[in-house]
Amino acid sequence: MSSTALVKDYMTKKVITVTPDTPAGEVLELMQLTGHDGFPVKTNGEVIGMVTAFDLLLKPWADYVEGIMTTDIVVADKEMSINDAARVMFRMGISRMPVMNKEGKLVGIITNTDIVRSHIERSTPTKVKYFKQTLEQLYGIDTKLERMKINIKKLRPTQNKIFADELQGRTYEIERGLAEPTIVVKVGGRYVLVDGHHRTVAALKLGHEDIDSYVIDIPDDIKLGIEKTADKEGIYTYDDIEVIDDAQHPLIAITGALKKEWKKNE
């Protein structure tokens, strides 16, 4: 992949399309079946419009796609940068763009979900790199980094509580393929979960056996400080993690407290 993330790197290549003579009722059924809220309209191999949930719900009803589709559509070139695509979608107020090649052929579709995923996948490695360097400097060691699927039950948690609202958010992300990888340290044959406790518990509750992870491999069998802290707090399995139902995430709680303070000062 190039240093600049491109639309072709994140677009969905298998695009569901409809035709101008597709019944509007079938489009509604297709939306319910796939979870998508819009489809390109093709005829004779050419994209001539888009039909979206907006068209079906807010425009006067028509029996066929031809009568409700939008013909003025924005399309993207597959070589366009993902950042430029995001700016265009934001300015135009659209949630998806058909993607064309230089010959004008439909080769994919890029959505808001794909944009979010691209930013997640580019931000996480920076965090991993920083943590890897910190470990090497702290313990005077060399480490190796690999991205892989890890069996959730092999992971040793190190956090004693998680928050129900954030757990719900991570569940939503996992179900839609948006969750960023966890950060794990492999040391002495142990897999220590460093970052991603909400994601891991959410995946476990959803019945997943494995979770996508960045694994930092330490060749020496040393006891990490984070392990020692977990030992003192009695955190060994996911049953040792308390799910806080009656409190929001600290950052959300702080925001709420600030709002109360602002109202006092008004």
> pLDDT (tens digit, 9 = 90+) per residue, 168-214?
888 988 988 888 899 999 999 999 999 999 999 999 999 999 999 99
Please, what are the domains in the chain? Answer: 7-115 (3.10.580.10), 141-255 (3.90.1530.10)
Judged by DSSP in three states, 107 sits in strand
> pLDDT (tens digit, 9 = 90+) per residue, 140-153?
999 999 999 999 99
What's residue 265's pLDDT? Answer: 55
Judged by DSSP in three states, 239 sits in helix
Q: What is the DSSP string of 14-65?
A: S---B-TTSBHHHHHHHHHHH--SEEEEEETTEEEEEEEHHHHHHSPP-SBG
- H or E element at residue 113: helix 112-139
What's residue 116's pLDDT? Answer: 81
Q: How far apart are CA 253 and CA 255, in angstroms?
A: 5
In the chain, the percentage of residues whose pLDDT exceeds 70 is: 90
What pTM did the predictor assign? 0.61
